[in-house]
Amino acid sequence: MSTRCTTHFKDNGADVAIIYRHGDGYPDGHGTDLLAFLKECAKLRDPRFGDPSYLAAKLVVYLANAFRSPQAPLLDFISVGVVMEDPEDIEYMYTVDCGEGEWPVVRCYEVGGEEVPIPGNFTQGPKPVVRRVKLNCGDYVGNPWHSRRFYRRTRIR
């Protein structure tokens, strides 16, 4: 079973873009991939950390490149997309607020669960601020079905 998630790119708290990921949405998967993505962006001449729409587009390209097989054509990928709102089956929601400073502020929420640490270590240069926040089921989607914990914590690669 896939662990689905969304990443909300925000500007001073307002949603600008939402990216859906079909699998590996738990913090050891998408959380670490999101931090690795930000580290890659930091290497660019113009990382666009203050522009959530450009940063969201870059995340789609980053994940699409990671998901497609090396022999496949450039556009032959699945498991990532742009959505208008959160699907009902997500288990994690990430937010990347681009309007809170020089680096984006990254937060992870588990739907109906506890605080969720995001593994990752930025050892050089400025760091994005990673905060863990509790999210109660009713506060998020109002659907009691989400309170069940049925995700797997292990990845098979």
Which stretches of the chain drop beneath a pLDDT of 50? Answer: 121-157
* Res 9: pLDDT: 95
- For 62-81, give the DSSP string: HHHHHHS-TTS-TT---SEE
Instruction: Write down the residue that tokens 């994690």 correspond to.
Output: 92
* Res 120: pLDDT: 58
Give pLDDT tens digits for 58-98: 999 999 988 888 888 888 888 999 999 999 889 999 989 88
Contacts for 103 with CB less than 8 Å, ≥ 6 apart: 38, 49, 126, 127, 128, 129
* Res 119: pLDDT: 67
* Res 34: pLDDT: 92
pTM of the model: 0.73
d(CA 88, CA 73): 31
Q: Helices then strands (H, E): number in the chain?
A: 3, 6
Contacts for 8 with CB less than 8 Å, ≥ 6 apart: 15, 17, 18, 93, 94, 95, 96
* Res 3: pLDDT: 92
